[in-house]
Amino acid sequence: MSTFQCIFPIGDCSLSIGDSPRDVLILEEPEHLCWYHCGQRWPSLFKHVIGIIHTNYADYVVQMGYKSEIAIPGGMKEASVFTITTLVCSAYCDINVKLSDTIMPLPNAVTCNVHGVRGAFLDIGDRQGTVADGEKPAANGTAYYLGKALFGKGWAELLGILKDAGEKLSGILIDGFGSGTDYESIVTRSEALRDAGAASLVMHPGVNHADSVTHGYGVLVNPSTTDVLCTVTVEALAMGKRCVLARHPSNHFFEDHFAERCHFFRVGDTDSFVTALRGALAAGPPQALPRDLRDSLTWEAATERLCDASQVRVLSGRIQRPSESAAARLAYRSHYDFLDSGVGWAVKDVSLGNETPWGQYFEKWQLSQKEGALT
């Protein structure tokens, strides 16, 4: 969707549930699923509703520099995203699980990494220290970064800190893997680094992170502070690599559990980055993780963390679940009334266009509500 640069469902997801058991519902990115939702209230359909929050959209509209057909001030976009996200996460979820504390404060929220990695990455890590058939050496350098070739995906931070470090990192070669709209600009800026005598960043087209070309690297350099919790870092650790990371809320999981494999630097501190990178490079080639750390990255371990994080721990009075509270019901009513207001319809027309079926879904839902009140 061009106005918000986001993807939203254009139909009522609650109509597709059928007669299946309705004990627990997990909403991935509930703010996206429910922003324009005007169907049945999820807590009325399920006994327990869990929201998994992956992205700090209030910050995203600023960091990614939204391009819109409509001239909406950035501050207004940020405020609207913050408000609507708070409303829907309160109205439709009993518990909101944030992957890290870079995400804005939310009602009934806990912070927990509930993600695991594919078995392929763990298998690669298990083989470290052995020579596997078909595995290629590192492309050029001994360190690398991988991600979509957009400046907002860590490349701006990487280029900036390499430039600031200058000759302090002279002779160090870092390979970059990524494809995207900023690829050529990243290449141009990386070539300027070499001309200035700084560390060399050599760009390559994007590859799957599990591709054999990445296996020989011992160090992932990821200075990004725009992620909530970077999956590339998790995958690199699973493959037995060391990681150079910013000391930032998005990396608290790694600081708490993988301090021996991660080398942290203070954001904006060039000398601290130089020390972290040189320390990581000095550690040598990839090494298989100890069994306890390896197992903590599996989806089985992530599922256990999810089950623990999703429990309702604090209740008061006769309320059995957070979605029954007066605040949650008020949030639902406010969201519903806004969508049914002139302003709400104007927002939907502007952002979704006139070809979406939300109007008919909303009318159907209103009719069912009126019929229920009469019976």
Block residue for tokens 């591709």: 211
Segment 175-191 shows an average pLDDT of 94
* Nearest residue to 175 (alpha-carbon basis) of 235, 230, 117, 216: 216
The Cα 235–Cα 217 span in angstroms is 13
The domain locations on the chain are 13-114+306-374, 119-295
pLDDT in tens, 313-343: 766 677 889 999 999 999 988 888 887 776 6
For range 30-34, the mean pLDDT: 86
Q: Which residues contact 44 (CB under 8 A, 6 or more apart)?
A: none
Other beta carbons less than 10 A from residue 107's beta carbon? 17
One CATH from 1.10.10.10, 3.40.190.10, 3.40.50.2000, 3.30.470.20 for 119-295 = 3.40.50.2000
Which of 76-85, 116-125, 358-367 holds the top average pLDDT? Answer: 116-125
Angle, helices 342-352 vs 326-339, to 10°: value is 70
Check pLDDT > 90 for residue 1. no
Least confident of 61-65, 229-233, 249-253: 61-65
User: Three-state DSSP class for 322?
Assistant: helix
Which residues have a Cβ under 8 Å from the Cβ of 348 and sit 6 or more positions away? 36, 339, 356, 358
83-88 mean pLDDT: 87
Write down the mean pLDDT value for the chain: 83
**pLDDT digit string, tens, across residues 237-265:** 999 999 999 999 999 999 999 999 999 99
pLDDT at 58 over 50: yes
CA atoms within 13 A on the CB side of 93: 31
Secondary structure element (H or E) that encloses residue 28, with its range: strand 24-28
Asked if residue 285 has pLDDT above 80, the reply is: yes
Model pTM score: 0.83
